[in-house]
Structure 1
């Protein structure tokens, strides 16, 4: 795919994941091309890729529509992510972490400790947590030295809310979100301990539990109040 096509594809993925393009939204080639300042061909290729990924469905003769995502869709994708990241954690533990990987994970833990020690979080704090959480997970996947895991995660993570790159939060109940993400951060500490101790089976089980802890939020994401209550945090850079 051409560079313009990649840019359009990446932008549309983010717009779908963030809810800017909601389920049922119509997409046509010419308006989309004008929006991004490109020709129709990159847009056409991006649409086809998003259709293959299950994010768009054909609507009428020429256009596409953002696919509706059910709670079951999200739950299934999150569970698959848990299996894949669990495998990555086990392989990383069994191989042994490099000093650089240990340092990167410890940096995430220290940042998280400072964030949650206040006893509350703001939406800005959750942006910080989102970024460090994403780094923590990426380091573990890279430490597995198994490219097949990263490839499988990339395919699975295109579904909105299934990936660590898109963090959905309830902005109407930040006290609950503090408890939720503080607990997730404590799980990071447990995963790190298992990794540095070379406990592959324990690291795998903890990572799967870590992913599955978010499954109950699938109903909230797909529920009728999602647009009002939920905010989706994307990477800051």
Structure 2
């Protein structure tokens, strides 16, 4: 039976979750109950419940005789998270097609694509442009989840998008300088071309094709991201 958490425990969990996503509590940080309760001005009972909830979410790990620590993720976690995202967001595209994009949704989709084209094909590539591309990319993906109209699917996709903790709660890398590593212009333009093909499938109501294109798109990003992180760690 799932545990029911008090409003106080949920509030504490929100506070700690935000700190973890923003990098204020980095991986391997030992969360000691007494000083943490004093810092937050709370009693230990709701704090324990909050820590248990975050452990259930996969953000914390419980170590016997030590307590809770912020979980550290590995390359395999990145790989596995993107693999799951591909399936979840691919299904979201299928549902979006089945639900039907109305004129308003089509206008929003075209607007995002136009802004992506401007960012990618004008001016000098920079951290600021990479950040703008990243945010527009999230808007593109989030639109399909919204039109799919399935709350549980959206919750699952958003959670797996945040894990492993290479991104903050807004989906951006903790160090914005990493954007130029993650989002090089050439790869971003490839991704934009994939967005155009996906949008065309949606506009023609091709649900199966849209599902496959989204899954392929995310798996491609997974492989690029994984390779670049490996190169960075190897000094290549």
TM-score, scaled relative to structure 1: 0.78
State the number of aligned residues: 227
Q: Is the 8 A contact 1:17 1:159 kept in 2?
A: no
Q: Does 2:76 align with 1:76?
A: no
Q: Kindly indicate whether structure 1 or structure 2 has the higher relative contact order, using CA contacts under 8 Å at least 6 residues apart.
A: 1
8 Å contact from structure 1 (residues 13, 158) kept in 2: no
**Counterparts of 1:18-33 in structure 2 under 5 Å?**
18-33=22-37
Higher helix share: 2
User: Structure 1 residues 170, 124: closer, same or farther in 2, change over 3 A?
Assistant: closer
SS of 2:163's equivalent in the other structure is: coil
CA contact (8 A) 2:9 2:46 kept: yes
In 1, distance between residues paired with 2:144 and 2:39?
Answer: 37
Flag the 1:41–1:122 CA change in 2: closer, same or farther, 3 A: farther
Deviation at 1:122, TM superposition (A): 2.2
Unaligned runs of 5+ in 1: 229-237
* Aligned equivalent of 1:166, options 147, 160, 171: 171
Aligned-residue offset at 1:90? 1.4
Q: Which runs of 5+ in 2 are unaligned?
A: none
Give the root-mean-square deviation of aligned CA atoms.
Answer: 3.2
- TM-score, normalised to structure 2's length? 0.78
Match of 1:110 in 2: 114
Task: Return the index of the structure with the highest Cα Rg.
Answer: 2
Q: Distance in 1 between matches of 2:177 and 2:25?
A: 19
Which one of 48, 55, 58 corresponds to residue 54 of structure 1? Answer: 58
